[in-house]
Structure 1
Amino acid sequence: MSKKILFIGHDANRAGAQLVLLNWLKEQKKRGIENYLLLERGGVLLQQYQKYAKVWVWQVERDKGNKILKKIPFLKREEMVIEEPSREEIAILIRELRKERFELIIGNTVASLNVMQKIQGLRANLACYVHELDFSLSMYASEADLKFLAEKVKHIWVVSKKVGDVLQKRCQINENKITLLSPMVEFSKNPKAKSAEILRMELEIPEEAKVVFGCGLAEWRKGTDVFIRVARMLIKKSPDLHFVWLGISDNLFSEEIKAEIRKFDTDGKIHLVPVKSDARPYFELADIFFLSSREDPFPLVMLEAASIGLQIVGFRGTGGIEDFSEGLENVLVENLEENDAAELIWQQLNISQKQKEEISNELKQRVKGYELQSFVARWEKIESELV
């Protein structure tokens, strides 16, 4: 019999860990299990979460000029501010949660540890599903959070072996407390999505040109700058190649990338595309998926590439790509060796059709281990063994 679980998420933004949690809740709901979720903040996935779980949001959205607005009701309520709840609001929320009598509280990412500490009085067993490596641990968790993880959290699940290694080294967490729980991915098919052929025309990429694709919100961790430098090397070697990065936004890092390629990409061989809700046509457009990440605990985009049999190239020591590609040849080069990455991409672009088909079939087979049913089977085994 399933335990009564309260999940904790740090927000409802559209990103890897949040999507894993959404799919988890969705599958449990299908199986008749009631879901409960406490979010620190809201986000674009909030309404989706509310379809599959009873949801509470810790932080409160208020009008900036609340007192003035009450006195002058015709003023527009456009500016909002997110605040911590008052003591009274916290007390009400804790009472609501206590009534549910949860047996287990699971934080989805270390960023949820902040809220978990505030509700530990519920007296349920505490667990955390960790999706972060070194840089993200520093970014999203305080030293107090990590101490709490090591000392107070009873069960720790990690998305990849690399995450477990980092937790043992950085937080001195005993390996017996850590269990591998590889994430799942759900591939949605949008019937209105553009075809790869239409996309190629829109990007003005010739029909015969080969395409290297990279994906992710442009930032240091995702190595968008690494992708651009490797692209520059390969365009010098073969001017007919095209490179597409999906995930440019209005952040400073994106602006720096744009400024960099303006210096040398006079023929428009590098295409920088804003974030899209449906990335599948871009994968279908490509000949190689280059995972240029410096740090990626378990990249779901890698699974999406593999699901259509798209060849993958990436770096050792960066996270979940090593778990997925274990035993495969011609996938990984040493960590951030950009020249080696360029050489391997070039080699893989020029292998025979028979070799491409063999690689494609192997990748499609491997990705089945990360589909929803496989994840649920892993989770049910873990849950049955919890004390």
Structure 2
Amino acid sequence: MLMKKILFISHDANRAGGQIVLLQLLRQLKQHNLPMHLLLCSDGPLEEEFRSLVSTTRLPRLGDVHFNPLVEKLLSLLSLDNWAKQKVLKRRWRRFKELFTAQDFGLIFANTIGAAAAYRQLDFISAPTVLFAHELEMSIKKYSDPQDMAYLMSRTNHLIVVSRAVAAYFQKTYSYPENQISTFQIIDTPLILKNIAEAKKVNIRRKMGLPAEAVLIGGCGHAEWRKGNDIFMMVAQQVITHFGNKPVYFVWVGMPVESELYEVQRFDAERMGLSERIIHVGLTSEVFHYLSQFDVFALTSREDPYPLVVLEAALAEKPIVCFEKAGGAPELVEEDAGFVVSYLDSVAMSNRIIELVENDALRLKMGQNAKRKVLERHPTDESVEKVVHIIQGLCE
């Protein structure tokens, strides 16, 4: 009996953890010959990679309705621009529903809670649902509507979560049954290790114009309140001040240079007198060039379910310093792959980073432990098989 097509939903195609994990998962599932289709709710730099893997449709949106400049101008003068766009959008939605109804999907796989709004618009599709949740409390409040979440959770047949912290949150907040939750992360370990090996061929210190003996303390991610970029700056000030003239640099990768936060952080760095020691790298596809050559990875997040970048840093044999009660990272770090310090205790985090910088043997050993634990706990083939098993069980 042939399996019906699986509809995957991604809220966008930005180069962020949840989207990259989905891209890696689709790549793996394609090898299992599963029939798949992807619904993208918005665009992003990964869109072409998604399209090269699976057939992809963009969710109809008013913001994607455009006319040629002359027509736009005329409609605007007549105050008919919104009316005309709504008519086009309505026509697109009608065609969208016809196409998706005809595909007779056997299962919906919603990647991240960012897909909740789109999922609610797919009420014309009757199919079991898997939610792959990468978020905790603040992200859910920020990126979803409570009614959309309630609708999604009431129709989710199986919940995949990336850490015990996320599982506990969904059980407590949504009273989701424990026996319908699977806890594991999905990463393409061979690909990540290949990317790390290739990246190490680039001398990032030379490329950045830094001394060969420079010590690099790294952070990474789309900059926002949740990621604790302000804490990163305070830790940087404390650690760099401690070492004086020793070439210690703090490098954050993934902060858009056109963002307001970038301007604020550069303002702070200048007032601290550390504008040359605190470096902000914008959005880049060369994350591994930096990540593979950090000496310590500082996870300053206030909330991070189980970030992909932590697993990537661990596979690059970097010890990790993170906060307790801030998500799933402490489940990996524990007492042998870095340090877990009290929530938002920047002094404790600074002291642990100093300890790692001053103790080469400890830094090396903890980095090796981090890699070993990821390899042991997150084998790619086993994780993919779990997903296949869940999908097949619901599609029967």
SS in structure 1 of the partner of residue 373 of structure 2:
helix
Query: Does 2:264 correspond to 1:256?
Result: yes
Tell me, in whole angstroms, the C-alpha distance in 1 between the residues paired with 2:7 and 2:212. 51
Letter in 1 for 2:310: M
Tell me, in whole angstroms, the C-alpha distance in 2 between the residues paired with 1:159 and 1:27. 18
Tell me, in whole angstroms, the C-alpha distance in 2 between the residues paired with 1:311 and 1:64. 52
Q: 1:75 aligns to what?
A: none
Q: 2:19 aligns to what?
A: 18
Tell me, in whole angstroms, the C-alpha distance in 2 between the residues paired with 1:97 and 1:133. 31
Do 1:196 and 1:282's aligned partners in 2 also have CA atoms closer than 8 Å?
A: no
Do 1:217 and 1:247's aligned partners in 2 also have CA atoms closer than 8 Å?
A: yes
Letter in 1 for 2:278: I
Q: 1:146 aligns to what?
A: 149
Q: 1:380 aligns to what?
A: 388
Residues 111-155 of structure 1: CA distance to partner in whole angstroms, max 9, x if unpaired?
A: 211111121222111221111111110111111012113322222
Per the TM alignment, residue 344 of structure 1 is displaced from its structure 2 partner at its CA by 0.8
Query: Does 2:367 correspond to 1:364?
Result: no
Unaligned runs of 5+ residues in structure 2 are 76-83
The farther-off stretch of 318-327 and 339-348 is: 318-327
Per the TM alignment, residue 26 of structure 1 is displaced from its structure 2 partner at its CA by 1.3
Residues 226-252 of structure 1: CA distance to partner in whole angstroms, max 9, x if unpaired?
A: 111001011111121221111221211
Q: 1:99 aligns to what?
A: 102
Give the helix-richer structure, 1 or 2: 2
Change (3 A) 1:247 1:267: closer
Tell me, in whole angstroms, the C-alpha distance in 1 between the residues paired with 2:69 and 2:39. 25
SS in structure 1 of the partner of residue 211 of structure 2:
coil
Letter in 1 for 2:263: E
Do 1:333 and 1:340's aligned partners in 2 also have CA atoms closer than 8 Å?
A: yes
Tell me, in whole angstroms, the C-alpha distance in 1 between the residues paired with 2:21 and 2:281. 24
Q: 1:51 aligns to what?
A: 52
Tell me, in whole angstroms, the C-alpha distance in 2 between the residues paired with 1:90 and 1:34. 24
The farther-off stretch of 308-317 and 149-158 is: 149-158
Which of 200, 206, 214 is matched with 1:209 structurally? 214
Per the TM alignment, residue 71 of structure 1 is displaced from its structure 2 partner at its CA by 9.0
Tell me, in whole angstroms, the C-alpha distance in 1 between the residues paired with 2:315 and 2:86. 41
TM-score by length of 1: 0.88
Unaligned runs of 5+ residues in structure 1 are 73-80
Do 1:104 and 1:125's aligned partners in 2 also have CA atoms closer than 8 Å?
A: yes
**Aligned residue pairs, count:** 377
Q: 1:78 aligns to what?
A: none
Cα RMSD after superposing both structures: 2.8
Per the TM alignment, residue 290 of structure 1 is displaced from its structure 2 partner at its CA by 0.7
SS in structure 1 of the partner of residue 272 of structure 2:
coil
Letter in 2 for 1:50: R
Which aligned pairs between 1:82-231 and structure 2 lie closer than 5 A? 86-185=89-188, 186-187=191-192, 189=195, 195=201, 197=203, 199-231=204-236
Do 1:183 and 1:298's aligned partners in 2 also have CA atoms closer than 8 Å?
A: no
SS in structure 2 of the partner of residue 314 of structure 1:
strand
SS in structure 1 of the partner of residue 292 of structure 2:
helix
Tell me, in whole angstroms, the C-alpha distance in 2 between the residues paired with 1:84 and 1:336. 50
Q: 1:76 aligns to what?
A: none
Which aligned pairs between 1:285-364 and structure 2 lie closer than 5 A? 285-326=293-334, 328=336, 330-353=338-361, 355-364=362-371
Letter in 1 for 2:71: I
Tell me, in whole angstroms, the C-alpha distance in 1 between the residues paired with 2:326 and 2:220. 16
Tell me, in whole angstroms, the C-alpha distance in 1 between the residues paired with 2:124 and 2:364. 55
The percent of aligned pairs where both chains have the same amino acid is 28
Per the TM alignment, residue 306 of structure 1 is displaced from its structure 2 partner at its CA by 1.0
Query: Does 2:20 correspond to 1:8?
Result: no
Per the TM alignment, residue 315 of structure 1 is displaced from its structure 2 partner at its CA by 0.9
Letter in 1 for 2:106: E
